[in-house]
Amino acid sequence: MKFETKCIHGSGKRYDDTGAVSVPIFQTATFLHKGVGQSTGYDYSRLQNPTRESLEDTVAQLENGSAALAFATGMAAIATLMELFEPGSHIVASDDLYGGTHRLFEHVSNKNGIDVTLVDSTDIACLEAAIRPDTKAVYLETPSNPMMHVTDLRAVAQITRERGLLCIVDNTFLTPLYQRPLDLGADVVIHSGTKFLGGHNDTLAGLLVVRDTTLAERLRFLHKTTGACLAPFDSWLILRGIKTLGVRMARQQETAMQIAGYLKAHPAVDAVYYPGLKEHPGYDISCVQTTGFGSMLSFTVRDGAAARQVLERISLIGFAESLGGVETLMTYPMLQTHADIPEARRLAKGIDDRLLRLSVGLEASEDLIEDLDHALGGHE
Ligand SMILES: *Cc1c(COP(=O)(O)O)cnc(C)c1O
């Protein structure tokens, strides 16, 4: 079955016999037992809930995994994943990470005795050199947030497999429509379902997907024990979002490509970071490991004053954190998503006062370009 079809029909499992086309929202905390030792398979919604299960089975199929677990937020998924690691463990991670993940590593994982070394993961030799005897995992985002660096997933997965490490990939930006890390050798895929999977900027969710069944059981145990599982209604919203994932992302990507071209040619724009541009350093790797470039891009303007002016002048495009929804949003990483990153490291990565990030939505490209034109113009 093709991807788009799987998005709509999910696991195909029916949970009642009314013939309901949409999976029902099982808004219940607990489930009755018919007798002692006679569970229906559903005991308590933190452990199992049919609506959440339907979402989990759908996402597992889309990522070619054996199991998925749905969490209240992307950060809840990542925080639970970190419970796999004992104090004294070491993790090598990309140095251009979602700000919240960086904050978790720095202020929570560290306190729990987990040491994280950040490296430029586009440089495979540098990543390999950071591996130590106590290293347990490599943690990647590709394309990365917000600089859109692309990491060669097959090359990293070969290293982690040889050394017995877990290869963890945050696949929020491309989703399984365009990139399937498990197929490229990764062990764990993370999603902020809040973004493209949900796709409507209306709910938060997170997912972990794995292929190995033993690892799935360990994570399932942590999921039910720490308890940050996704609510039935939110599970249903993400399921509904996934039904249109294919058409949404294809159109969003098409518009992103047009906007990248427009920005590149604009005199007030200095640099455009979009993996779909041939001059992007990750273009060639993207062409082999992904089937699309997505609709996230970043760009720089002349200085901080120019960036603030753009943010104040956009009107159709919203100035807000988050991404992947039908509404186009612009983010100022320095003050929003990446505000908690130590300044020196932030600046070294190019996340300065000139950098703006754009999540291209589903509005007509002409209207978006007109809005950008208005925002960028008039300050020369
Ligand atoms: C948003 C995001 C997260 C965190 O997800 P939440 O749902 O906001 O908790 C993690 N990784 C990436 C790449 C993100 O964009």
Per-residue pLDDT tens digits for 42-91: 999 999 999 999 999 999 999 999 999 999 999 999 999 999 999 999 99
Q: Say which CATH class 3-243 falls into.
A: alpha beta
What ligand 1 atom has the least distance to the C-alpha of 194?
7
* Whole-number Cα distances in Å, 189 to 67, 86, 145, 238, 262: 11, 20, 16, 17, 33
What one-character DSSP code corresponds to residue 258? H
Please state, rounded to an integer, the average pLDDT across all residues of the chain: 96
Number of alpha helices (DSSP H) and beta strands (DSSP E) in the chain: 14, 12
Closest by CA position to 153, among listed 183, 195, 109, 108: 183
Decide whether any atom of ligand 1 lies within 6 Å of the 56 Cβ: no
Q: Does residue 380 have a pLDDT over 70? A: no
The 10s digit of each residue's pLDDT in 105-162 is: 999 999 999 999 999 999 999 999 999 999 999 999 999 988 999 999 999 999 999 9
Please give the distance, rounded to the nearest whole angstrom, from the Cα atom of residue 146 to the centre of ligand 1.
12
Q: To test the ligand 1 pocket, which listed residue (75, 141, 175, 190) has its Cβ within 8 A of the most ligand atoms?
A: 75
User: In Å, how far from its chain's centre is CA 323?
Assistant: 9
pTM score: 0.96
Contact assessment for residue 239 and residue 230, using Cβ atoms and an 8 Å cutoff: no
Cα 64 to Cα 61: distance, rounded to the nearest angstrom: 5
Decide whether any atom of ligand 1 lies within 6 Å of the 73 Cβ: yes
Residue of minimum CA distance from atom 4 in ligand 1: 74
Contact assessment for residue 76 and residue 205, using Cβ atoms and an 8 Å cutoff: no
Query: Do 3-243 and 246-376 have matching folds?
Result: no
- Please list the active-site residues: 46, 98, 170, 195
Residue of minimum CA distance from atom 5 in ligand 1: 74
What one-character DSSP code corresponds to residue 326? S
What is the reported pLDDT for 349? Answer: 87
Contact assessment for residue 6 and residue 61, using Cβ atoms and an 8 Å cutoff: yes
Vertex 11: Cα angle to 80 and 20 (nearest 5): 115
**Given pLDDT bands bounded at 50, 70 and 90, which one contains residue 234?**
very high
Please give the distance, rounded to the nearest whole angstrom, from the Cα atom of residue 172 to the centre of ligand 1.
7
What is the reported pLDDT for 342? Answer: 86
What average pLDDT does range 242-248 have in this prediction?
98
Please give the distance, rounded to the nearest whole angstrom, from the Cα atom of residue 98 to the centre of ligand 1.
7
Please give the distance, rounded to the nearest whole angstrom, from the Cα atom of residue 132 to the centre of ligand 1.
28
Please give the distance, rounded to the nearest whole angstrom, from the Cα atom of residue 337 to the centre of ligand 1.
10
Q: Say which CATH class 246-376 falls into.
A: alpha beta
Q: To test the ligand 1 pocket, which listed residue (80, 142, 195) has its Cβ within 8 A of the most ligand atoms?
A: 195
User: In Å, how far from its chain's centre is CA 306?
Assistant: 29
The burial of 215, by beta-carbon neighbours within 10 Å (0-12 exposed, 13-18 middle, 19 or more buried), is given as middle
Decide whether any atom of ligand 1 lies within 6 Å of the 203 Cβ: no
Residue in the block written with tokens 């950060």: 75
- Percent of the chain past pLDDT 70, that is, above it, reads 99
Beta strand spans in 8-78 (E)? 67-71
Cα 207 to Cα 74: distance, rounded to the nearest angstrom: 7
What is the reported pLDDT for 57? Answer: 98
What average pLDDT does range 248-260 have in this prediction?
98
Contact assessment for residue 310 and residue 360, using Cβ atoms and an 8 Å cutoff: no
Compute, in degrees rounded to 10, the torsion defined by CA atoms 367, 372, 377, 380.
-170
The two structure tokens encoding residue 227: 């308890």
Q: Does residue 379 have a pLDDT over 70? A: no
β-bridge pairing 115-119 and 90-94: parallel
The 10s digit of each residue's pLDDT in 23-35 is: 999 999 999 999 9
What is the reported pLDDT for 337? Answer: 84
- Percent of the chain past pLDDT 90, that is, above it, reads 92
Strand ordering across the sheet containing 269-273? 269-273, 296-301, 355-359, 329-331, 318-319
Q: Does residue 378 have a pLDDT over 80? A: no
What is the reported pLDDT for 145? Answer: 87
For the chain, domain boundaries:
3-243, 246-376
What is the reported pLDDT for 168? Answer: 98
Q: Is the peptide bond before 143 cis (omega within 30 degrees of 0)?
A: yes
